[in-house]
Amino acid sequence: MTAAAKIRTGIAGLDKMLHGGFVPGRPYIVSGPPGAGKTILAMQFLREGLEGGERCLFVALEEPPNELKINMRGFRWNLDDLDVLDANSDIRRFEPTPILEISTEEEPIKVRALGDRIRKTPDFESKEVTVHSLQQLLKTLLLKRNYERVVIDSITALKYFCMREFEEAVTTQSFMRYLAESKVTSLLTLELPEEGEVPPEAFLARGEIRLHKLRDETGIKRFISVEKYKGSSHDEFVYAFDITNAGIVLNTAA
Amino acid sequence: MDRVKTGIVGLDTMLNGGLLPARPYVISGPTGSGKTILSAHFLLEGLGQHEPCLLVTLDEPPIEVKSNMATFGWNLDRLKILDATPDVRAHKRQRSVIDVGTALDVRDMEDVTEIRQSSGIRALEVNVHSVQKMIKQEFAHHLERTKERYKRIVIDSMTALKMFSMQGQDSRVLTQSFLRFLAELESTTLIVSERLDRKILETEFFLSRGEIRLHKWVDGSVVRRAISIEKFRVETRLIDEVSNVIESVMKGIEDAHRRQVPIRDVEVSLSRAMLAFQRRNYRKAMKIALGCDSDLKERLRQAPPAPPTAIPPRPPLVAR
């Protein structure tokens, strides 16, 4: 695939590493330990889309959207037109109460309309997100709004909180399959443990960008690498990066 | 947004001023690395500022916490403490009928005098639901009594809660729900957690808005300790950004002075920006400073170019 037909990631150095950007219409993974910069990278991906007038959706499974908005304020990116879907489950009820599946009523909210405070769990009902309901909801949303870029933050949260443990592998596979079929370019964040094996989600995606966090005497250093990228050549080097006022910046010169 | 001070000066510096209010954070580290002491600093700082603070203890009975802290000479009398340490297990068949949520107690630290004795009739078992319910009740009572919300909460520890109070249930989902519950309380919460296995990604670590990690290792014959921030969701580098803009405006002003461009009004509005900055109204400061910046640039563009800087005559070369 030629570089021209690829879509840009919003990070100049990363585009260079990917020899142009992502192949459109496929799901990609950005992995790394907590605090590595995954959400920021994903946000830059969406911002790139917004600037080109594309419709973008952020599915928040880890952080409440109000906090996300505050976190991103410092970068002074114009994210007003970004749709955010709050897929955080409410506080669980311990008494049997009717559970609302989110697919029935939830709608994404534009960032500009997000409030400053956290949404409170209502007293008599609570919202529960299951992978099934989320998929259903995405289906209608994609049809209705024609999203071009979608971020799922994170697939780990989806796996941990929205699936039954015994069917995790199958359900994750089917969710990725669904994303691929819907022909949207999607970026899924994946939490990595400090050491040990990489979770199986990584091999289901068409590409994996990994963020590394190393600690030495001078502090925490961050690195980025492209672990795999199907259907395209890519850079094999590992580059250092910094999180600056302008987001993630790669030190490709070094 | 104002930061919440941790009570440890160096740590606040590391955090660029402190934690963000109304969010849950994790303190992690091996046994004996100082997690409980760090959280006591956090609570002490809050008490010093007359903020209502709550300690939920699951590891140590309150009386032990009290005497341990007394060795530092710290006075935590006004701290509310929720004793959620489980009783001695009754190895009998019958189950307690009483709702444990009502049996847990919250009291002032100064009223803590001895360890709670396990009741002979029914053993108090703690589960995450009862802890949650109790915190909620205490929150509501406190709000009713004093019209104040708890500002700081410490959960000591999440590891105990998970090990003893979530048995046989899906601990990931329960942890997610518990963190959601804490976030909805809108207090700044420290969750003490031991990282038992580096290969397993515990839920609280990636759901929390930040992780402060304590390290402990043996170096020769001494135990050394260190602290690092592993993750920190920052609302903004707005402070840095504003100070950058202000700095660049000041440089511009110097330049303008050298070129004798009249910029009195820019200086006046810059001082307003600096005032807003001092009052921590960064948003306003940013707005004014950006205004100054564009004004100044416009003014400098129209002004005649700078006169060449005078080169001082070189001293004559001295032959050696």
Please list, in sequence order, all residues whose beta carbon lies within 8 angstroms of the beta carbon of residue B207, skipping any fewer than 6 positions away.
A62, A157, B24, B175, B176, B179
Interchain CB contacts (distance < 8 Å): A and B: 99
Chain CA centroid to CA A9, Å: 13
3-class secondary structure, A164 = coil
What are the residues whose beta carbons fall under 8 Å from the beta carbon of B297, sequence distance 6 or more? B252
Nearby residues of B261 by Cβ (< 8 Å), 6 or more positions away? B299, B300, B303
Q: Please report which confidence band the pLDDT of residue B117 belongs to, taking 50, 70 and 90 as the band edges.
A: low
Which residues from B are below 8 Å from A when comparing CB atoms? 1, 20, 22-23, 129, 132, 170, 172-174, 176-177, 180-181, 183-184, 186, 198-201, 203, 205-207, 209-211, 228-238, 240-241
> Which one is the CATH code of A3-250: 3.30.1380.10, 3.40.50.720, 1.20.1250.20, 3.40.50.300?
3.40.50.300
Q: Is the pLDDT reported for residue B96 higher than 50?
A: no
Q: How far is CA B108 from CA A250, B38, B274, in A?
A: 52, 20, 43
The residues with which A96 forms a beta bridge, in sequence order, are: none
Which residue in chain B is spatially nearest to A36 when comparing CA positions?
B231
pLDDT computed for residue A55 by the predictor: 93
pLDDT (tens digit per residue) in B212-268: 999 998 888 888 999 988 888 875 556 777 777 888 888 888 888 888 888 888 888
- Residue A94 has its nearest CB partner, among B129, B201, B232, at B129
Q: Tokens 């070129």 appear where? A: B259
Q: Is the peptide bond before A154 cis (omega within 30 degrees of 0)?
A: yes
Q: A222: which strand partners?
A: A213, A241
Residue A165 touches partner B, C-beta closer than 8 Å: yes
Tracing tokens 């997690």 back to the chain, one arrives at: B35
The closest CB to that of A156, out of B20, B206, B235, belongs to B206
Contact B265, B225 (CB under 8 A): no
Every domain of chain A and the residues it spans? 3-250
Token pair recorded at residue A146: 């024609």
* pLDDT attached to residue A120: 82
Q: What whole-number distance in Å separates Cα of residue A226 and Cα of residue A202? A: 12
Residues in chain B with CB shorter than 8 Å from the CB of A216 are: none
CA distance B214 to chain A (A): 13
pLDDT of residue A49: 94
Q: What does chain B come to in residues? A: 320
Answer whether residue B135 shows pLDDT above 80.
yes
Q: Write phi, then psi, for A232 (nearest 5 degrees).
A: -160, 155
Closest chain B C-alpha to A35 CA, distance in angstroms: 4
The closest alpha carbon to A65, from B203, B240, B183, belongs to: B183
Residue with tokens 């990994």: A210
Is A74 close to B236, i.e. CB distance below 8 A? yes
Alpha carbon of residue B105 to chain centroid? 26
Max Cα distance, chain B (Å) = 106
Inter-helix orientation angle A131-145/A168-181, to 10°: 0
Q: Answer whether A74 sits within 8 Å of B235, measured CB to CB.
A: yes
Q: Which stretch of DSSP H or E encloses residue B176?
A: helix B171-185
Q: Closest Cα to residue B178, out of B9, B24, B58?
A: B24
Query: ipTM score of the complex?
Result: 0.80
Confidence of residue B69 (pLDDT cuts 50, 70, 90): confident
A173 vs A125: which has the higher pLDDT? A173
Residue B281 has pLDDT above 70, yes or no: yes
To the nearest whole percent, how much of chain A has pLDDT over 90? 31
Q: What is the dihedral of CA A120, A125, A130, A134, to 10 degrees?
A: -70
User: Is residue A97 less than 8 Å (CB to CB) from chain B?
Assistant: no
Find chain B residues with C-beta within 8 A of A193's C-beta. Answer: 198-201
pLDDT tens-digit map of A55-85: 999 999 998 998 898 888 878 888 889 999 9
Q: What is the mean pLDDT of chain A?
A: 85
Nearest by CB to residue B236, choosing from A73, A94, A219, is: A73
Query: In this complex, is the C-beta atom of A116 within 8 Å of any C-beta atom belonging to chain B?
Result: no
Whether B294 contacts B247, CB under 8 Å: no
Window A:194-233, CB contacts with B under 8 Å = 194-197, 213, 215, 219-220
